[in-house]
Chain A
Amino acid sequence: MEEKSVNKTNSNGYTFLFAVIMVIVVASVLAFTATSLQPIQRENVRQEKMQSILATIGVETDRAGAEELYNRYITEAVTLDYQGEEREGVDAFTVDLAKEIKREDEEQNFPLYIAEYEGETYYIVPLRGNGLWNAIFGYISLEDDVNTIKGATFDHLGETPGLGAEITKEWFKESFAEEKIFDESGNLVGVSVVKGDIDPSDKDDNQVDAISGATITGDGVSDMISERLQRYLPYFKKQTDIKVATK
């Protein structure tokens, strides 16, 4: 009896049959789960996006309440081209930055969210760049002088927990508040994540404190901020009611 079953499981035919059945069963279970759960997952991602956008202007909410507050405070979502002109017919919210960033400058869509909150106007720029292992992304909101940062949120796909993944933590995000993106001579430099002795209370030095052991992720954050903000400069310059400090 025992002998027989061993022989049976060792034959080529049985091995092939087992492999085929296993693959079919596993594939259909996974495919079924993935497809049937996709609408709920998409909704989660959508709500989380609204939640992140709101968080940059200081509106804290849970995922379920994000949509209502988003509709209340985000007055405009526009898609811009590289010259700062508005592109009609492109929904800024559904623009996938991961794909846009790979396209030529001329073809890229640049989404921009404009928020009215407690009587102030904020411009919210979506960010995307590279961390150590995978993409990092986030949102950064500017006050109406287009220089002072109101707030920022960051997220990542695969940074190391405890090191690069610390960019999602409150203390790191908070260190960006009130920092300036233009230097003293009026060049857009963004905000650099710097190792070593910097004064976190100095909000005009374009620098925030880095995370120990996460140099590459930190550099990724610096690069992402300056690269992305640069793209919106033509738009901000065009808005006559916004004063942009340039050389």
Chain B
Amino acid sequence: MATEKKNISEEKEAKKKEMILFLSSSEEKEHFLSKGNRKLLSDPLDDNNPITVQVLGICSALAITVQLEPAVVMAIAVVFVMAFSNIIVSMLRNLIPSRIRIIVQLVVVASLVALVDQVLKAYAYDVSKQLSVFIGLIITNCIVMGRLEAFALGNGVYKSFLDGIGNAAGYGLILIIVAFFRELLGSGKLFGFEVLGHKAATVADSTGLYALGYENNGLMLLSPMALIVVGLLIWVQRARNRKLIEEN
């Protein structure tokens, strides 16, 4: 009788420990900003960048890098969605049946985005108007699904959270760099401000660079230029960071 009780209490203790481990998310005891965890945040910015190295999320990079403002909005939105979807999937990782895991991930991402959209529509209508076109782009963004599949399904909650933020930031960084060049060279503006001077109907009326006969490059506004700029970025990154260059 006594041993039975002891067993039960031991079992309870073990369960408790399991719970704590589950919540604290890292299996080994680790400082919450240990070197490994910091790497989760910083790696995707350079060595393991989702766009230039993993080549994920190219599709949305084409669509919204014509100007800086939408690129920044998209970057912020993706940080939110990735952080939370990674947390949710990581929490459910031991419960998700492996055969339908992709569907489950999709449902988590899609309902999260739809939920946020509904709340914004009610309480922050102007923000939701800004985001309206991005909703679809976020759901279909391969980075979100890619990280859920590659990381959140096999790692603890806190690590997955960091991985989500890191990858979203790496994605946003490239987005903003590409948008910077496309807006500057394509329309002569940054965040909508005319940084290269004002372009009037005639050269004589123009100011700044335009007075010297400078013309905007309309090609920069078209989608193919986003790919070419990303290509150039990959080139620059690999020239600088030799370990990214593949053998043979």
Interchain CB contact under 8 A, A29 and B95: no
Kindly report which residue of chain A lies nearest to residue B134, judged by CB atoms.
Answer: A161
Q: Does B132 contact A (CB under 8 A)?
A: yes
The CA-CA distance from A23 to B67 in the complex, in Å, is 38
A91 to B98, CA, bound (A): 55
The answer on a CB contact under 8 Å between B125 and A48 is yes
A23, A29, A160: residue with the most chain B Cβ atoms closer than 10 Å: A160
Chain B residue numbers with a CB within 8 Å of A48 are 125
Note all chain A residues with C-beta closer than 8 A to B118: 30, 33-34, 37, 41
Name the B residues within 8 Å of A160 (CB-CB): 63-64, 66, 133
CA distance A213 to B224 in the complex (A): 12
A163 touches B201 (CB 8 A): no
Once A10-B98, A15-B100, A41-B121 are accepted as A-B contacts, the answer to whether A199 and B201 lie under 8 Å apart by CB is yes
Chain A residue nearest to B68 in the complex (CB)? A162
Complex-state Cα separation, A5 to B22, whole angstroms: 15
With known contacts A9-B96, A41-B121, A161–B66 Cβ distance under 8 A: yes
A197 at the interface (CB under 8 A from B): yes
Could you say which residues of chain A place their CB within 8 Å of the CB of B19?
A: none
Whole-angstrom distance between the alpha carbons of A213 and B94 in the complex? 48
Q: How far is the CB of A125 from chain B (nearest CB, A)?
A: 23
Residues of chain A within 8 A of B218, CB atoms compared: 212-213
Question: For residue B73, which residue of chain A has the nearest CB?
Answer: A161
In the complex, the chain B residue whose C-beta lies closest to that of A18 is: B97
Which residues of chain A from 9 to 32 have a CB within 8 Å of any chain B CB?
A: 9-10, 14-15, 18-19, 22-23, 26, 29-30
- In the bound complex, residues from chain A placing their C-beta under 8 Å from that of B100 are 15, 18-19
Tell me whether A200 is interfacial, beta carbon within 8 Å: yes
Check: B111 CB closer than 8 A to any chain A CB: yes
Asked if residues A37 and B119 are in contact (CB atoms below 8 Å), the reply is: yes
Closest CB-CB distance, A234 to chain B, in whole Å?
35
Determine the residue in chain B with the shortest Cβ distance to A200.
B201
**Is B190 engaged at the interface, CB distance under 8 Å to the other chain?**
no
Contact with A along B181-209 (1 / 0, CB 8 A): 00100110000000000000100000000
Judge whether B201 and A15 touch: CB under 8 Å: no
B107: interface (CB < 8 Å): yes
Residues of B within 8 A of A161 (CB): 63-64, 66-67, 70, 133-134
Residues of A within 8 A of B (CB-CB), count: 33
Query: Is A75 on the interface with B (CB-CB < 8 A)?
Result: no
Q: Whose C-beta in chain B lies nearest to the C-beta of A35?
A: B118
Once A and B bind, how many residue pairs between them come within 8 Å at the CB atom?
Answer: 89
User: Bound complex: CA of A152 vs CA of B216, how far in Å?
Assistant: 28
| Contact digits for A193-222, partner B, Cβ 8 Å, 1 yes 0 no | 000010110000000000011000000000
Check if B122 is an interface residue, CB within 8 A of chain A: yes
In the bound complex, residues from chain A placing their C-beta under 8 Å from that of B123 are 40
Residue B53 at the chain A interface, CB threshold 8 Å: no
A193 to B233, CA, bound (A): 36
Any A CB within 8 A of the CB of B76: no
Enumerate chain B residues within 8 angstroms of A158, measured Cβ to Cβ: 132-133, 136
CB proximity of A90 to chain B, nearest CB, Å? 27
Q: Kindly list 15 other residue pairs between chains A and B, CB separation below 8 angstroms, not including A23-B107, A213-B221.
A: A10-B98, A15-B97, A15-B100, A19-B97, A26-B111, A30-B111, A30-B118, A33-B119, A37-B122, A44-B122, A63-B125, A161-B70, A162-B221, A199-B201, A212-B221
Give B contacts to A, CB under 8 Å. Answer: 63-67, 70, 94-100, 103-104, 107, 111, 114-115, 118-119, 121-123, 125, 132-134, 136, 183, 186-187, 201, 216, 218, 221-222
| Minimum-distance CB pairs A-B, first 4 | A162-B66, A161-B70, A37-B122, A213-B221
Can you list 19 residue pairs at the A/B interface with Cβ under 8 Å?
A9-B98, A10-B99, A15-B97, A15-B99, A18-B95, A18-B100, A30-B118, A34-B118, A41-B118, A44-B121, A158-B133, A160-B63, A160-B133, A161-B67, A161-B70, A163-B66, A163-B221, A165-B133, A199-B201
